[in-house]
Amino acid sequence: QSVLTQPPSASGTPGQRVTISCSGSSSNIGSNTVNWYQQFPGKAPTLLIYTNNQRPSGVPDRFSGSKSGSSASLAISGLQSEDEADYYCASWDDSLIGYVFGTGTTVTVL
Amino acid sequence: EVQLVESGGGLVQPGGSLRIACEGSGFTFSSVWMHWVRQVPGKGLVWVSRINPDGTNVIYADSVKGRFTVSRDNAKNRLYLQMNSLRVEDTAIYYCSRDVFGPRQWGQGTLVTVSS
């Protein structure tokens, strides 16, 4: 059902850099901004990145976002054990006339 | 501090109805767009609906269109989701979210279970 495609999993050792991709289309990422959300098990999602690459106050600068064409990426630099969580991209879709979320990526710290 | 608190979830039979609510505080509720998003436990996030500040513009995901109705009472800082003709596949945690460049702050969610 999700129109934004993410890899189901990503992993890295502490201190490594991990990148999560989010593939969309011209009707969503291609023409609208992208947000990224972090979600821990049993908890509500929290905003990690908004408007492609902006961090809300309190979000460490280890997290960064980028967008190119109809795709977006979230990078986690200096991976830490507390970064183990699910990550979702999201964007408005002009064709569906609604908000769409990515399929989600589970990040594991080895 | 922005707070959103959902309430009203529970067990309902297929074909039944349920209304859940979301109370906002710590911000000017009447000035913001609001979203409902749901999540089957263990699965991904699915957008349900968005409502504008004065409640005159509401859009829905196709999966709930014609069955769900979103409204708000700005005097009470409350957002509502009226769910009718509920189906087993509507079982999920329902979150409300305040819109600032998309869903920003989220409530803790309320679980709606549709089962006989």
pLDDT, tens digit (0-9, with 9 covering 90-100), for B8-53: 999 999 999 999 999 999 999 999 999 999 999 999 999 999 999 9
**How many whole angstroms separate alpha carbon B13 and alpha carbon B57?**
30
Q: Is A63 on the interface with B (CB under 8 A)?
A: no
Among residues of chain B, what percentage have pLDDT more than 70? Answer: 100
A87 touching B (Cβ < 8 Å): no
Mean pLDDT, all residues of chain A? 96
What is the identity of the amino acid at B34?
A: M
Distance from the Cα of A81 to chain B's closest Cα (Å) equals: 21
Quick one: A13 exposed, middle or buried, by C-beta within 10 A (0-12, 13-18, 19+)? exposed
Q: What is the pLDDT of residue A1?
A: 58
Query: Is the backbone of residue A82 left (phi > 0), alpha (psi -120 to 50) or beta?
Result: alpha
pLDDT surpassing 70 at residue B104: yes
Helix (H, G, I), strand (E, B) or coil at A83: helix
User: Rounded to whole angstroms, how far apart are CA atoms A6 and A8?
Assistant: 6
B10-12 vs B110-114, strand pairing mode: parallel
Q: Read off the tokens for A32.
A: 């609208």
- Which one of A33, A43, A99, A106 makes the best mutation probe of the B interface by having the most chain B beta carbons within 10 Å? A99
Distance CA A9, CA A20 (A): 9
Closest approach of A40 to chain B, Cα-based (Å)? 11
Instruction: Tell me what pLDDT residue A65 has.
Output: 98
Q: Do residue B105 and residue A47 have CB atoms under 8 angstroms apart?
A: yes
pLDDT at A53: 97
Q: What is the pLDDT of residues A32-70, one digit of tens each?
A: 999 999 999 999 999 999 999 999 999 999 999 999 999
pLDDT at A68: 97
- Which residues of chain B lie closer than 8 angstroms to A37, CB-CB? 45, 103
Nearest Cα neighbor of B73 from B22, B38, B37 is B22
- Facing residue for B44 by CB, picked from A54, A91, A101: A101
Comparing alpha-carbon positions, the chain A residue that sits nearest to B35 is A99
In angstroms, what separates the C-alpha of B87 from chain A's closest C-alpha? 17
Tokens coding B43: 């699965």
pLDDT tier for residue A2 given thresholds of 50, 70 and 90: confident
Q: Under an 8 A CB cutoff, do A45 and B45 touch?
A: yes
